[in-house]
Amino acid sequence: MTTSPRDEATGYVPSVAYTYDWYERFLERLLDDGYSPASYDEPLGDGDLVVRHDVDLSPARALDIGRIEADLGIRSTFFFLLTNPLYNPFHRPNRRVIHDLVEMGHDVGVHFSTHQYWGEDPGDGAIETRVAAERDVFGTALTDPSPAVSFHRPPEWVLSRSFDPFISTYERRFFSDVQYVGDSSQRWRESPPEVDGGPLQLLTHPGLWGTEDATFAQRVNEATEYQFERVAAFVQDEFVHDRNTIEEYDHRETPTPGRSEERSGGRRGG
Ligand SMILES: [Zn+2]
């Protein structure tokens, strides 16, 4: 069940359902309360809202979230994980998602996993070199990647730390110096987001949301099943049957589980 984020009696957002509908109303409330969308290009001031998405599980759902925000006039930044075992950002259906997000006016950048390279802090130089390498590679999938980078499951040693060659979403000015509100592991169920009107960074993971509510474990299962089925079918087509069927794998044509017809039908914004 969805509870309205406008229920004044019990707080800013009394209870959270991980649905597109709830997320859309949460954003509307922030806008109504005077927040205005900002980017990582500038330091944040009171009422500035920088919206970020770490795409850990589902490019398809990133597209859904991107449409909701574009319809509300919100420009956000989507960070794709190049080292993700679950999706390949260069596979054409995923490049199309990136293209569509950019067309809607959103920014797209690298979601960087230190865990793929190091178990402990390797020092500024090593981090900057490796991040630059991933950003260069990602630059082949889109013309103008965001100057910002977000760290995946950030270790303690990247928090509140700045780097010369790129902007980190965990720099002090976007993290410890502002209000930072994130939906990681669906923690809003126990602790609904509160905002205070000051500068705000909002983080959501598109793969945790859908048309109907579902638990964190269910969302992870949905995402893996969706990806595995598509990969299995595509590999059969390409290698066993020697057929080029990539057009059929466009995320716009194959809705994610629990995704409404309206959204999958290509409701375009911005
Ligand atoms: Zn992540």
pLDDT at residue 11, rounded to an integer:
62
Asked whether residue 16 is domain-assigned, the answer is: no
Confidence of residue 170 (pLDDT cuts 50, 70, 90): very high
Instruction: Output the CA 203–ligand 1 centroid distance in Å.
Output: 10
Asked whether residue 3 is domain-assigned, the answer is: no
What is the value of pTM for the model shown?
A: 0.90
Instruction: Output the CA 243–ligand 1 centroid distance in Å.
Output: 34
Instruction: Output the CA 33–ligand 1 centroid distance in Å.
Output: 29
Instruction: Count helices and strands (H / E) in the chain.
Output: 6, 8
Instruction: Output the CA 61–ligand 1 centroid distance in Å.
Output: 15
Residues 6 or more apart in contact with residue 240 via CB below 8 angstroms: none
Instruction: Output the CA 109–ligand 1 centroid distance in Å.
Output: 12
Instruction: Output the CA 151–ligand 1 centroid distance in Å.
Output: 7
pLDDT at residue 9, rounded to an integer:
47
Long-range contacts of residues 85-90, Cβ cutoff 8 Å, at least 24 apart? 86/56, 86/57, 86/223, 86/224, 86/227, 87/58, 87/59, 87/227, 89/59, 89/138, 89/141, 90/140, 90/141
Instruction: Output the CA 54–ligand 1 centroid distance in Å.
Output: 5
Q: Is the pLDDT of residue 243 over 90?
A: yes
Instruction: Output the CA 149–ligand 1 centroid distance in Å.
Output: 11
Q: What is the CATH number of the domain that holds 167?
A: 3.20.20
Instruction: Output the CA 210–ligand 1 centroid distance in Å.
Output: 18
Instruction: Output the CA 8–ligand 1 centroid distance in Å.
Output: 32
Residue 224 tokens read as: 């893996």
Instruction: Output the CA 95–ligand 1 centroid distance in Å.
Output: 19
pLDDT at residue 12, rounded to an integer:
78
- Closest Cα partner for 168 from 61, 56, 52? 52
- Closest Cα partner for 17 from 219, 226, 269? 219
Instruction: Output the CA 55–ligand 1 centroid distance in Å.
Output: 7
- Domain containing 258 equals 34-264
Instruction: Output the CA 169–ligand 1 centroid distance in Å.
Output: 12
SS3 for 79?
A: strand
Cα 7 from Cα 141, distance rounded (Å) = 43
Give CA separation, 10 vs 4, 13, 154, 192, in Å.
11, 8, 33, 11
Instruction: Output the CA 219–ligand 1 centroid distance in Å.
Output: 15
Number of domains in the chain: 1
Asked if residue 49 lies in contact with residue 202, where contact means CB atoms within 8 angstroms, the answer is: yes
Confidence of residue 270 (pLDDT cuts 50, 70, 90): very low
Q: Is the pLDDT of residue 120 over 70?
A: yes
**Mean pLDDT computed over 11-29:** 90
Confidence of residue 255 (pLDDT cuts 50, 70, 90): low
Confidence of residue 261 (pLDDT cuts 50, 70, 90): very low
Amino acid at 254: T
Cα 254 from Cα 98, distance rounded (Å) = 16
Asked whether residue 19 is domain-assigned, the answer is: no
How buried is 242 (Cβ within 10 angstroms: 0-12 exposed, 13-18 middle, 19+ buried)?
exposed
Q: Is the pLDDT of residue 264 over 70?
A: no
pLDDT in tens, 31-84: 999 999 999 998 899 999 999 999 999 999 999 999 999 999 999 999 999 999
Instruction: Output the CA 113–ligand 1 centroid distance in Å.
Output: 8
- Closest Cα partner for 84 from 61, 56, 110? 56
Instruction: Output the CA 153–ligand 1 centroid distance in Å.
Output: 5
Asked whether residue 270 is domain-assigned, the answer is: no
Average pLDDT, the chain: 91
Q: Is beta strand 148-151 parallel, antiparallel or unpaired with respect to 36-38?
A: unpaired
Instruction: Output the CA 141–ligand 1 centroid distance in Å.
Output: 19
Asked if residue 61 lies in contact with residue 206, where contact means CB atoms within 8 angstroms, the answer is: yes
Strands (E), the chain: 36-38, 48-55, 77-81, 107-112, 148-151, 167-168, 179-182, 200-204
Instruction: Output the CA 248–ligand 1 centroid distance in Å.
Output: 28
Asked whether residue 121 is domain-assigned, the answer is: yes
Beta bridge mates, 151: 112
Asked whether residue 41 is domain-assigned, the answer is: yes
DSSP 19: B
